[in-house]
């Protein structure tokens, strides 16, 4: 496997929610490719489902840590969503179908969209803060 040092540097410079959004989009894309190429070998399906499950394990672990500043209600929602994803993943493994992947793809894409919107709002707020002092200095 070849590692692109530029990609690693780019990823390490991104905020956490942007990294999470990219990971969610990549796993959703992989699941979508499998759905579109259905039927696929069982090993390929299980590998993609396992990757998605591992990603959600990381997400739910980080989100529900005591030190995470998220409100308790958000932590509970993430936990409940992850629990659903884990149950659904095992159901797909037990009875595979292309349609059963749709909900996993949809959840990943919707969460990624929300994370990207959060990043955009944060960037806009930062730009406003940076421009505010220069605007008040120009008025003087």
Q: CATH number of the domain that 63 lies in?
A: 1.20.120
This prediction's pTM: 0.81
- Beta carbons within 10 angstroms of residue 83's beta carbon: 12
- C-alpha 51/C-alpha 64 separation (Å) is 20
- Does some domain include residue 10? no
pLDDT above 80 for 12? no
Q: Is residue 127 part of a domain?
A: no
38: confidence class by pLDDT, cuts 50, 70, 90: very high
Is residue 111 included in any domain, yes or no? yes
Question: Is position 130 within any domain?
Answer: no
Instruction: Give residue-wise pLDDT tens across range 69-86.
Output: 999 999 999 999 999 999
* pLDDT score of 27: 98
* Cα-Cα-Cα-Cα dihedral sign, residues 44, 49, 50, 51: positive
- In a domain? residue 54: yes
Q: How far apart are CA 127 and CA 38, in angstroms?
A: 45
| Poorest-pLDDT segment among 5-14, 27-36, 55-64, 75-84 | 5-14
Q: Which residue range forms the structural domain that includes residue 77?
A: 15-117
**Residue 126 pLDDT:** 81
Q: Is residue 68 part of a domain?
A: yes
Which pLDDT belongs to residue 5? 45
pLDDT of residue 133: 65
Assess if residue 4 is contained within a domain. no
Q: Domain count of the chain? A: 1
Instruction: Answer yes or no: is pLDDT of 11 > 80.
Output: no
Nearest alpha carbon to residue 52 among 109, 115, 126, 11: 109
Does a structural domain hold residue 43?
yes
């Amino acid at each position: 496997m070849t590692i692109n040092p530029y990609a690693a540097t780019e990823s390490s410079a991104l905020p956490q929610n942007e990294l999470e959004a990219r990971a969610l989009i990549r796993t959703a894309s992989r699941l979508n490719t499998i759905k579109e190429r259905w039927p696929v070998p069982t090993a390929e399906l299980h590998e993609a489902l396992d990757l998605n499950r591992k990603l959600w394990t990381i997400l739910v672990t980080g989100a529900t840590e005591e030190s995470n500043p998220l409100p308790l209600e958000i932590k509970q929602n993430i936990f409940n969503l992850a629990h659903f994803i884990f149950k659904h993943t095992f159901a797909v493994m037990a009875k595979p179908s292309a349609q059963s992947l749709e909900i996993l793809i949809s959840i990943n894409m919707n969460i990624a969209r929300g994370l990207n919107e959060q990043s955009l709002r944060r960037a806009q707020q930062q730009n406003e803060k940076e421009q505010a002092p220069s605007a008040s200095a120009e008025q003087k």
